[in-house]
Amino acid sequence: MKVRIHGTRPGEDIRNPVRGGHVYRSTQSVENASPIRPNFLTGNWAGLGKRIWSRLCSIDMATPGGVSEFAEWLKRKSGVALRLPPRSKLVLAALLILTLASLAVAQFQNSTRPRRQSSAIAGDRIMDFGGGVVPSAREAVGDSSNYPKWEYPARFQKDVFTFVRIEYEVDPMAPGHRPYDRWAIDFPDSDLNFSYRLQQITSLKVDPNPVHFKLTDKRLFDYPFIYIVEPGRLLLTDEEVDILRKYLVNGGFLMFDDFWGEKEYDVFYHQIKRVFPDREPEDLAMDHPIFHCVFDLKEKPQVPNVAIGVDAQYTGITWERDDAKEVHYRAIRDDKNRIMVMICHNTDLGDGWEREGENEYYFHEFSEKKAYPMGINIIFYAMTH
């Protein structure tokens, strides 16, 4: 992946016409990029143990063909090549030890930090806080030493970009995650990883500590960008509707991400029409600057969850539902034609940020080529218009 400001070579300046001469600079060109925390084998202990155990139970490991089949499966799923002699008893011993160890570590991790929970759709993960106080992103990961942290000059303290995730309630009658944690899907890894990539790849000064709060929080108007994940079951209160409208018409920018199919879009549409009864979401054409302002994208990127994304190298399927095959990037504009709301429908950019370290194919195909470029384009467009 080569990072460049649209229309320049890496390192060249670009003067933004909207801001009348403000200089933006691409800081580097990234060749053969690697994940922030590669954990294709060791990172997802619970999932690893369960998958290995399930596969071992379904294959005749007493035959060379069974061992070869398992080795091919392991390589395809994790990128790890198994090179032990096919008839060796060490194969079975090593796999059994790895399985038991992974399950033991998973149990220990789950007992010492907030646990992740999978949704009905394979690949979604959420932090389970039992409805209690949700810690900051860095506190939520437990040992944050594996996550990059950086400093910025004191003079930029109030001018750095901060990733803000909005907490919200859902319709209690709707299926899916509990009302108190749906907003936390992909949290905290998504927020931390995306903040780091913004800081690493662009000239934007970024706060290493993402934040989250409700729309009713007094801090809302201190931040020009907010993010809402999975709005397919979103339920805003009347107070939140009024606050959100005021925030957006006064210059704020809202990004919706990760909801699929017509049913979820209908729920979202009903809620956003409460905010803007007289404004309609409009599809953005491929020639819109938001697809080209930093990364020159050639198509509208569709990013599935990691499970579907890994299988996509064999199936070619990048959508999560039959009625979600076509990706849509829609916008709601203000009276001056400024985009106030960016709607990323039938795609999951947040999973591309969160799960970048779990599978090499997924990282290079979806995180590197699609999720980060589109996310960065959205941020830069929002901050310069």
186: phi > 0 → left, psi -120 to 50 → alpha, else beta; which? left
What average pLDDT does this structure show over 118-124? Answer: 47
Task: Say if residue 98's pLDDT is above 70.
Answer: no
CB atoms within 10 A of CB 82: 17
Pairing of strands 253-257, 339-345: parallel
Closest of 319, 331, 320, 314 to residue 378, by C-alpha: 331
Instruction: Identify the residue whose tokens are 């400001």.
Output: 5
Instruction: Identify the residue whose tokens are 């960008």.
Output: 225
Instruction: Identify the residue whose tokens are 């109030």.
Output: 158
CA distances 45 to 16, 90, 300, 371, Å, are 46, 21, 33, 25
Of all helices (H) and strands (E), which one includes residue 192?
Answer: helix 189-201
How confident is the model at residue 133, as a pLDDT?
77
C-alpha–C-alpha distance, residues 27 and 162, integer Å: 19
CA angle 247, 250, 253 (to 5 degrees): 60
Radius of gyration of the CA atoms of the chain, in A: 22
Task: Say if residue 221's pLDDT is above 70.
Answer: yes
Share the mean pLDDT of the chain: 78
Any idea which fold 117-148+155-384 has?
A: Rossmann fold (3.40.50)
For 52-85, what is each residue's pLDDT tens digit? 555 565 566 566 676 677 666 665 544 455 554 5
376 in Cβ contact with 324 (< 8 Å): no
For 282-325, what is each residue's pLDDT tens digit? 999 999 999 999 999 999 999 999 999 999 999 999 999 999 99
Instruction: Identify the residue whose tokens are 């990172």.
Output: 43
C-alpha–C-alpha distance, residues 186 and 344, integer Å: 16
Residue boundaries of the structural domains of the chain? 45-112, 117-148+155-384
Between 373 and 123, the higher pLDDT residue: 373
How confident is the model at residue 24, as a pLDDT?
31
Instruction: Identify the residue whose tokens are 């900051």.
Output: 136
Task: Say if residue 238's pLDDT is above 70.
Answer: yes
C-alpha–C-alpha distance, residues 300 and 89, integer Å: 49
